[in-house]
Amino acid sequence: MKRAMVASVALLSAGCAFRPWTPSVSVAYGAQDVPPAEPMRVAPASDLLSRWQLPSSNPWAAYTKLTLLSSLDARRGVAELPQVGELDVVRRAEHAASVLAAAGLPRDTLFILDLRGAASVAFGATLSRAARDPVSPVATFNNWPGDDEMVPAEETLAALVTMSPKMPGATETRSVPVFMLDAWRLAYREDVADEEVLDNRYMLDASSFPSTLELQAQGINHVLYVVESLDDAEHEEDDVHAAARTWQQAGVTVHMVDLSWLQSLSAPLDWDMMLRDYRLVIEPRQTIVEDPGFYARSQGGFGGRHGLPSPFRYGGSYRGVGHGGGG
């Protein structure tokens, strides 16, 4: 992976002053290095797609995006992938999911994991295997890996290859939805990719998430938005904003917690009381979706090979065509 150069502290401070701290900002500036890659045998893409695809009767199946796994078709059963089990956040995510499963899940809640992709996969897979209630892990990974990739999609790919969920059965009428996002997707959003770099950043949009009517039909009254650390993220990500604000306006409450909070849980739980202080009030704000500067920087959208890097990395992305196209 070819990463853009690190901005100075002065540039970082200036850039982030223009926009709130969201998961992609914290992962871009403070994430542990990508682990070294090692050759490993991988199952055929069709087998892995079956592993992570929810039953067609599942109400959350339509939101699954497994573009990333399709890249394995060209690997012929062998791939060099990062050893994501070495990442601290992956181990913390697995532990948090185990603690949550033991404490008991709230049944009227949709989870959104906006973590480094491998950590989201680790959390979703662990929770689905350990929880007493059926869990529906929903992958939203809509980009492509490459040797000179802008963001480390191969981390998430490695997690999908090496981890296994327990999917709900086709006859399960209710399950806890867990949307797994990759916080890397909008990292370095102010950069314009170098000519030799695969711009594999991407953006989700409101249609990537259930409507309020769909949530209500499934008895969902709360959304739990999980980030790595509340010290490093103060708002929902820009591409989650529209959906979250719509939910809030319809009376679905959104709460923001982190891995440390989940790791501290113990039964019995009074979810309403515990989440009271973590309610996320989603005020109107400009996001990169409405930012004219973003469209000028993106030169038609992520997924291309073009341009020179910007010294700032604090906002901008596009749901465009190619490997980096989102939605």
Residue 96 located in a structural domain? yes
**Residue 193 φ then ψ, to 5°:** -65, 140
Q: What is the pLDDT of residue 269?
A: 94
DSSP for 175-231 reads: -EEEEEEEGGGGTTTT----TTSB-------GGGS--HHHHHHTT--EEEEEES-TT
How high is the mean pLDDT of the chain?
86
Residue ranges in 41-152 assigned as alpha helix (H): 45-52, 67-70, 88-103, 117-130
Q: What is the pLDDT of residue 211?
A: 98
Residue 310 located in a structural domain? no
What are the C-alpha distances in Å from 326 to residues 2, 118, 188, 229?
Answer: 21, 18, 16, 25
Residue 14 located in a structural domain? yes
The arithmetic mean of pLDDT across residues 242-260, rounded, is 98
Residue 4 located in a structural domain? no
> Which domain does 76 fall in, by range?
9-298
Q: Please write the tens of the pLDDT for every residue from 176-209.
A: 999 999 999 999 888 887 888 888 989 998 899 9
Q: Please write the tens of the pLDDT for every residue from 203-239.
A: 998 899 999 999 999 999 999 999 999 999 999 999 9
Q: Please write the tens of the pLDDT for every residue from 28-64.
A: 989 999 999 999 999 999 999 999 999 999 999 999 9
Contact 122, 285 (CB under 8 A): no
Residue 306 located in a structural domain? no
Residue 317 located in a structural domain? no
Q: Please write the tens of the pLDDT for every residue from 123-169.
A: 999 999 999 999 999 999 999 998 889 999 999 999 999 999 999 99
Residue 313 located in a structural domain? no
Domain count along the chain? 1
**b/e code 154-185 from CB counts within 10 Å (16+ = b):** bbbbbbbbbbebebbeeeeeebbbbbbbbbbb
pTM of the model: 0.87
The arithmetic mean of pLDDT across residues 87-108, rounded, is 98
Residue 85 located in a structural domain? yes
User: Counting Cβ atoms within 10 Å, is residue 89 exposed (0-12), middle (13-18) or buried (19+)?
Assistant: buried
Model confidence at 325: pLDDT above 50: no
User: Counting Cβ atoms within 10 Å, is residue 320 exposed (0-12), middle (13-18) or buried (19+)?
Assistant: buried
Q: Please write the tens of the pLDDT for every residue from 275-296.
A: 999 999 999 998 987 877 666 6
Report how far residue 105's alpha carbon sits from residue 206's, in angstroms, rounded to the nearest whole number.
Answer: 25
- Work out the percent of the chain whose per-residue pLDDT is above 70: 83
Q: Give the pLDDT band (50/70/90) at residue 316.
A: very low
